[in-house]
Amino acid sequence: MAKDDIDHSRRKTLTNSVAVVGGIGAAVATWPFISSMNPSASALAAGAPVEVDVSKMEPGQQIQEIWRRKPIWIIRRTPEMVQTLGGLTEKLRDPDSAETSQQPAFAQNEIRSIKQEYLVLVGICTHLGCSPEFKPDPGGDLGAAWQGGFYCACHGSRFDLAGRVYKNMPANKNLAVPPYHFISDNRILIGLTKDEAEA
Ligand code: FES
């Protein structure tokens, strides 16, 4: 789908609901259609994996879940969004995700994901724990060079559409990728890598 075909107004409505969380434990919205058959609240708080159905996601859309009291974002990237990732290497602090603490091994690459279409991130700024805003559209109030990504309004850190932090930002690490794997074409289990689930 072309970038212009995306329902920006709807997406904006969804992403505007993603408030600053100020770190772990703050209240954040959970989208009603994405969770089903999930464990009890006490199991979730203890860290049980969370299953997410992404079949109804629109191209370019961001949704949010909670795992271990952290906001977990899933973004369905368009081909145009993925295309921006290759041209940013010189501008990024850790373009190859060499900082191993920030993602499982499967995401230590340019797209930082299992499927390039679906990006899964912990929605907490690596500076001081605010929740960055999803700003997928190029240009706009972030300037002509902005290619889309995440912007943390607390102190101005910028991240690309793979959660990689730009150089010379207050944040000095890429946004974290949680352990996860696909249990079917459209269902993601957040909390365990495939290897961990099969162990
Ligand atoms: S908490 Fe995000 S830039 Fe400071």
Comparing CA positions, the residue from 179, 159, 183 lying closest to residue 171 is 159
Q: Which of 119, 4, 125, 140 is nearest to 62 (CA)?
A: 119
Ligand 1 centre to CA of 122 (Å) is 14
Is 50 exceeded by the pLDDT of residue 119?
Answer: yes
Residues 48-69: tens digit of each pLDDT: 999 999 999 999 999 999 999 9
Q: Where are the domains of the chain?
A: 3-192
Residue nearest atom 1 in ligand 1 by C-alpha distance: 128
CATH superfamily of 3-192: Rieske [2Fe-2S] iron-sulphur domain (2.102.10.10)
Q: What share of the chain is helix, strand, coil (3-state, %, to 5)?
A: 20, 20, 55
pTM of the model: 0.79
CA of 23 to the centre of ligand 1 (A): 11
DSSP 138-189: SSGGG-TT--SEEE-TTT--EE-TTSPBBTT-S--SPPPPPPEEEEETTEEE
CB 103 within 8 A of CB 180: no
